[in-house]
Amino acid sequence: MKSIGIIPARYHSSRFPGKPLALIAGKPMILWVYERAKKATQLTDLIVATDDEKIFTTVSMAGGKALMTSPSHETGTERVYEAASLYISPQDIENTIVINIQGDEPLIDPELINHIISAFKDPSIQIVTPIRKVFKKISEHCPHEVKVVKNLNNKILYFSRSNIPFCRDAENTLLFPFYIHIGIYAYRFTVLEKIVKLPPTELEKTEKLEQLRWLEHGYEIYAIETNYESHAVDTPEDIKIIHQLIASNQ
């Protein structure tokens, strides 16, 4: 089984234009992501999929692999699929796992990537994504944190920006366990090839969560639990937080 990590990186962003090239401790963020992900020993290969020549050149000049992809993609999944289709040879289609590694996670844990890949030893698994258990007061709800509920076999039942499950008898002063989604996905290439062609669904449009499209169309998403705490960069202000985390680790 081969495992290809693909980092989608688009230049234009409404909240943070040029985000992949934002400097963190003097190094572009996309290189932080690439170099961290490269440490995952279970990865067969790693590629940045971009629509911007500056990002392509930055990665290539640093010795990384990059592919130019269409600027018209609406989702990172579409960009990942195009790159995978260009890169994976026909004889490897049936035995390749594709890992969609977010380009705004400069402190991504390579062991998390290894853990995700290992889940595919079970031949029945189609899609894998990580979740983390947190304890919060119900009143501390944040719609930017996507919550998850799963069944007893670790198959995800639903993703939501709302607090799920709703605990009818919980007091707002008490801590309550929630599962928070971490936005990394892995798919068998044969499954990715199918889900990228699915039409959008009403739940997806309502919650603005693409993964609900896959669930509504009947695909199973397997959850692996991790202690990794995501530190995604959404705005320029988040760069300051990453700087502080890097400084504290040093």
Residue 214 pLDDT: 98
- Shortest CA distance to 151 belongs to which of 215, 195, 198? 215
Burial class (CB in 10 A: 0-12, 13-18, 19+), 177: exposed
Confidence of residue 30 (pLDDT cuts 50, 70, 90): very high
Which structure tokens are listed for 210? 């693409």
> pLDDT tens, 146-185?
999 999 999 999 999 999 998 877 666 678 889 999 999 9
- Give the amino acid at 146: V
From CA 126, how far away is CA 237, in angstroms rounded?
36
| Whether the predicted pLDDT of 22 surpasses 70 | yes
Cα distances from 203 to residues 10, 47, 206, in angstroms, run 26, 31, 5
From CA 105, how far away is CA 234, in angstroms rounded?
10
Cα distances from 81 to residues 25, 75, 148, 232, in angstroms, run 31, 10, 25, 22
What DSSP designation does 181 have?
Answer: E
Residue 142 pLDDT: 82
Mean pLDDT of 43-68: 97
Rg (CA), the chain: 18
Contact predicate 60/40, CB 8 Å: no
| Whether the predicted pLDDT of 101 surpasses 60 | yes
Tell me the percentage of the chain whose pLDDT exceeds 70: 97
Which structure tokens are listed for 168? 């009818």
Residue 198 pLDDT: 97
Residue 220 pLDDT: 98
pTM listed for this prediction? 0.93
Residues contacting 218, CB < 8 A, separation 6+: none
Which 3 state secondary structure label does DSSP give 51? coil
Residues contacting 126, CB < 8 A, separation 6+: 187, 188, 191, 219, 220, 221, 222
Residue 65 pLDDT: 97
> What values do phi and psi take at 31, rounded to 5?
-75, -35
Which structure tokens are listed for 59? 């990665």
Cα distances from 126 to residues 87, 154, 157, 189, 220, in angstroms, run 20, 13, 15, 9, 6
Show the 3-state SS of 3-44: EEEEEEECCCCCCCCCHHHCEECCEEHHHHHHHHHCCCCCCC
| Whether the predicted pLDDT of 64 surpasses 80 | yes
> pLDDT tens, 109-154?
999 999 999 999 999 999 999 999 998 877 777 888 999 999 999 9
> pLDDT tens, 195-230?
999 999 999 999 999 999 999 999 999 999 999 988
Q: What mean pLDDT value characterizes the chain?
A: 92
